[in-house]
Structures are given as C-alpha cells and as structure tokens.
C-alpha cells in the first residue's frame, strides 16, 4: 500500500531492521568458562580450608572405607611430590599457565572447551593460591593435599579439576572440535559446540 508521494505504509521491514540481534549460541556458551572456574575454585578453596582445620590432629579418616582416605599433607613440589626443591619455579610456571588459559579462553565458543578451560583455570589457580599465600611464605607456599587412594599420591580438588580438564581437552581434540566450536572434519558439530552464528 502506498501513501501520497509514494511513501510506503508497510513498517514491518523498518521495525525488523531495528530489532537487536540475538546472541549467538557459541558466544553465550563462553560464560560456562568463568562459571565452571568460579565454582570449582570455590570448592577447592573451601575443602582445603576445611581440611586444614579438621585434619590438623594428624589422624587419618576413612571416607569410603579403604578406597578413599582423608590424610592431610603439605606438598612443596609438583604432582607426586616431585621437584620439591623448585617451589618458586613451579609458582612462576603456574602464573604463566593461568595467564595462558585466560588468553586462550577468549577464543572459546564451544561448551565443552569452555568447561575444560574453566576447570583448568580453577585447578591451576587453586594450587597457585596455596603457593602464594600459605606457609612458609609467598611464592614458596606448600599446597594442601588431603585425598588419598590406595597406592596413589595424596591429592586435592584442584588436582581433580586439572585431570578432568585434561580429559575434556583430549576428548575435544579427538573429536576434531576447535576452540571456536567448528570441526576440522566434514561432520557437523554438536549443538553445544556450534561456532558463532552457526545454526542447526
């Protein structure tokens, strides 16, 4: 329908052009990264604080029979208590690792990659917090470990997060899912791995 002078009375096109674009699925999934990181970091920090207070008498406590025991220890080294004489170096490496995770997380548009990077940040950051703020001093702090399996070194929630993150990273790599959610093969990515602007 035309008005005088040829002006169109159909305003639908004009209205649609001013509607805000919806957030792409991939971009919205990025928030799984800080969400997973904050929750896992809080659990790690809380359980360590509890362990230091509740297990300071030196007695072990069976949590799941002989399968899982609570045993408080302070680790100055890396995993499996290796490199105990390089605490400051390990702290510096952890700081670099946190920075790298934050940088690479900006490229994440996949749900599983976001969770993987969130858990990795929580794990590395949780143990780094111990090294920065616990005795015997900044950069030389000992990591609180309190979970023990049979024939396995004592570990903590941060270590669990790091291993879960490694598993998810390996899974995504084998699936051929890039950080932005795209595949390097011909198969379509899953809904949780859609890149920005992709539709199913």
| C-alpha 104: how far from chain center | 12
Pairing of strands 143-148, 61-64: unpaired
Active site residue 44: no
Selecting among 13, 56, 57, 145, the annotated active-site residue is 145
> What gap in Å lies between CA 117 and CA 188, rounded to an integer?
23
Q: For residue 76, give the DSSP letter.
A: S
CB–CB of 72/51 below 8 Å? yes
Closest CA to 156 of 53, 40, 62, 56: 40
Distance CA(190)–CA(48), nearest Å, equals 37
Q: How far is CA 9 from CA 2, 15, 40, 79, in A?
A: 6, 12, 56, 71
Residue 13 falls in the annotated catalytic set: no
Q: Which of 44, 159, 184, 196 is catalytic?
A: 159
Residue reference for tokens 């004489």: 85
Catalytic residues: 145, 159
């Amino acid at each position: 329908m035309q008005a005088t002078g040829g002006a169109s009375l159909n305003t639908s096109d004009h209205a649609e052009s001013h509607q805000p674009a919806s957030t792409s699925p991939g971009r919205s999934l990025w928030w799984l990264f800080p969400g997973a990181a904050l929750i896992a970091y809080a659990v790690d920090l809380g359980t360590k604080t509890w362990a230091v207070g509740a297990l300071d008498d030196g007695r072990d406590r069976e949590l799941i029979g002989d399968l899982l025991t609570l045993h408080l220890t302070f680790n100055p080294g890396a995993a499996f208590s290796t490199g105990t004489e390089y605490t400051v170096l390990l702290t510096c490496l952890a700081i670099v690792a946190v920075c790298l995770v934050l940088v690479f997380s900006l490229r994440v548009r996949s749900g599983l990659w976001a969770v993987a990077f969130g858990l990795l940040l929580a794990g590395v950051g949780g143990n780094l917090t111990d090294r920065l703020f616990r005795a015997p001093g900044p950069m030389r702090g000992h990591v609180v470990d309190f979970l023990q399996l049979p024939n396995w070194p004592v570990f903590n929630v941060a270590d669990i997060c790091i291993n879960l993150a490694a598993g998810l990273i390996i899974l995504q790599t084998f699936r051929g899912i890039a950080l932005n959610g795209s595949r390097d093969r011909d198969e379509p990515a899953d809904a949780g791995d859609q890149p920005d602007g992709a539709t199913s």
